[in-house]
Each structure stands twice: as C-alpha cells, then as structure tokens.
Amino acid sequence: MTARQVVRNARHWKTGEPFELAVEGGRVVASGGPGAAGSGKNDVDAAGAWLSPGLVDLHVHLREPGGEGRETIETGTRAASAGGFTAVACMPNTHPVIDNQAWVAWVLQRATQVGHCRVHPIAAVTMGQKGEQLAELIALAEAGAVAFSDDGHPVMSAEVMRRALEYAKPTGRPIVCHEEDLTLRGHGHMNEGPVAARLGLGGIPAAAEVVMVRRDIELAELTGGRVHLAHLSASGSFEALRDAKRRGLPVTGETCPHYWTLTEDATAEYDTHAKMNPPLRSARDRAAVIEAIREGIVDCFVTDHAPHTFEDKRQPFDLAPFGIVGLETALALTITFLVKPGHLTLARALELWTDAPRRLFELPAVTLEPGSPADFTLLDPEHEWTVDASRFRSKGRNTPFDGWKVNGKVLATWCGGEITHMEESWMEAPAR
C-alpha cells in the first residue's frame, strides 16, 4: 500500500475552481475544494495549475518490436508521460506485424515491464498488413487488442474491408482506417498543389484521402461495423464525416495537431521534418480542420507520433520517410492554436484528449473523483516555452516545431498513483 499523497492548490479542469485530491493505493481516495483531501506524505503544491484526467493518445507508433533504433516501448511511453499522457494505443505496423495473439500479449507484457504509461495494442486487420487475408480479429480482441488497423497502409480491397467490418462487429472494436487510395497517391511525396509544383515533386491529391473516406462510410452503413477514420486532413473528409454523423452511421474520426497548425508551406524549403502522410495540405484544408473541431465533428485528437532516426530524415525529400513525432508537443499546440485563438475552451480541448478517446475505444473511465484510477495530468496553460527537440524523451527528433514558442506546459503526470513525469524547471522553482 503506497503512502497517501495530496495534490493541493490546483484548479479543476472543467470549472477552474480551487481543487485538491488525495491518492492512495493507486486510486483517488478523496477530492473536492480546499481541505477536502486531508493530509498526506510528500504532498504536491500545484500552485494554481490545472488538474485533469490523464491524456490519452489513440494513435502512436512505438516501433517495437523490430524498430528499436527509432523508438521503443520504454522511450515512447516516457515521451508520452512527458506530454501528459497516461495511456496510448499503439499501431501494429512493427516488424513483425502485430497480427496474432502472441504479439498482442508480448506488447502488453513488455509495456508492463518497461512502460511509463498504460499501453493498449491495436492489432492488424490483415495478416502482415498485406490487405489480403483477414487476421483472426475475434481472437485478437480476446487477447487485448482495443481496435484493428493496417495503419501505414490502406485496405485497398473494398471486399476485404467489408469482411473485416463484419468480423469485427461482434467484438465491438472499430476498424481504424488509414484512408489513402494508392492509385491516386501514385509516387507523391507532399500535397498536390503549388508548393509541390514549384519544388518539382510529385503531389498527393486530397482526393486520395476523400474517396477512401467515402467508401468506408458506405461500408459502415452496409455492415453496421464501426469505422474510425484516422488522421483526417482534407476538407472533403470532414464533409463526409459530417454527413455520416447526420445519417447516424457508426463512424467517428480523429485529426492531429499538425493539421490545424501547419499548411503545405511548411515543406517549401524541402524540410523533411514536415513530410508526413497524409501530407500537410492547403490553407483551405487547415481552416476546414479547425471548423470541424469547432463544430464537434471531430471525435478526438491524436498525435500520429511516428519517430524516425536523424539519418532517416536527413535524406532528400523524395527519399525520406513520412512522419513526425508529436507526444511532447501535442498539448502545447492544442492550447496555442486552438484555445488561445478562441476556437475551443480549455475544458473542451482537454475533453478531446481525455474522456473522448476513452469512450471511443471503451477504455476504463478516469475521473478526479474517489474510486477512480489515479491517472491525471497537472498543467499550466499560460506557461510559455520554446520547443527544444534535443530534450525530447522520444528517440525521435523529427518535428517541424523545433524552436517554436508555444503556450501550455505539462508540469507533472501521475499514472496508477505514481508520478511518471515532473517538469524539471517546475521542480526547481522557488517554494510556492
């Protein structure tokens, strides 16, 4: 039994009212206004910072097994904790692919051994993510997979996707769809538009995403299976998602901080740190992302954290791999580019990183009330800081935000009642 610890002088994430809670044995045992939590050992003075349930990222690439040079479960979850996350769902495009029960069990066991937050494996839709033979979806769900995805690759065959939705339906798990028509993508490396034309590089049209989004929405209606649309970036995709919701279909969608923060202009100097898939798109698409978030069309935020080595990204633009890291900048980019301009309240922004993803994947609920797992995040939304990729806990340094001034800092993270991250500058601050 761990000693009772009290977090004092915080502000509640929904109301902003003074708030404190006590933790013991990995759970919240008391909470409320000043004085409600009693006393404890090694108490933390939050000094007016905001306390919320721990953040959840439903779309990360931990690269293990097989990609340990780029990330491991240990380093990826350490980065997650530094970003305020207490749970992540990891994609199965590893080497080997997570397409059988043994590998799902291995990920869960490895995360228990070395993880700094909770890890929920997503299993492949098809064997080897080849888009041909379905994986044993029911058995994978029984082993602990929280969803199915061939992310990194689309399921190009509509027939295979239809069968996947039918077999996944009894499990209640969604198919997380990487929406990309490869025949339209061709050999593109960035968004099809004026920047690609000027740089002389092949473009990827927004239609490559939109046509697959519309196909899978129709298949959701045909089968009744759950479709979760991954990392949406294009205006037409949000129009399709809006229409699916209007029709009451079992379709949800996510987007990432880089799509509401950047446009294709970020690639104008051949910066491979801005090369991702789906690619950064036009200003019109970025505006559509923000509008869909404001309307409530977007169901949750994710990072699509995709670490690569320095050597990977140092190559010419057309040879460098797609992907950026995002766990350690996600909250700041949310506050700086959505909350500060008034597109969202802080409470709604945190909802999209906490309760919303838990509901989508039916993960255990986390609150700040007694009885809840003690998974929470302490943050200062006003704190201005400069992104320094060299200080990332992730092995990946591939971010276009290095050197940016942003607002919103994670001060501390608890998972299961244990402090898994505490910001160094905050620890060293004068006594509050």
Decide if 230 contacts 59 (C-beta within 8 A): yes
SS3 253: strand
d(CA 143, CA 138): 9
- Residue count of the chain, please give it: 432
Q: Is 207 exposed, middle or buried (0-12, 13-18, 19+ CB in 10 A)?
A: middle
SS3 419: strand
Note the helical H segments in 169-206. Answer: 182-185, 194-199
Q: Which of 181, 304, 375, 380 is catalytic?
A: 304
Q: Which two tokens stand for residue 200?
A: 């002389």
Decide if 209 contacts 280 (C-beta within 8 A): no
* 135: Cβ contacts below 8 Å, ≥ 6 apart: 99, 100, 123, 124, 125, 126, 127, 148
d(CA 192, CA 357): 31
d(CA 402, CA 391): 10
Q: Indicate if 43 belongs to the active site.
A: no
Catalytic residues: 304
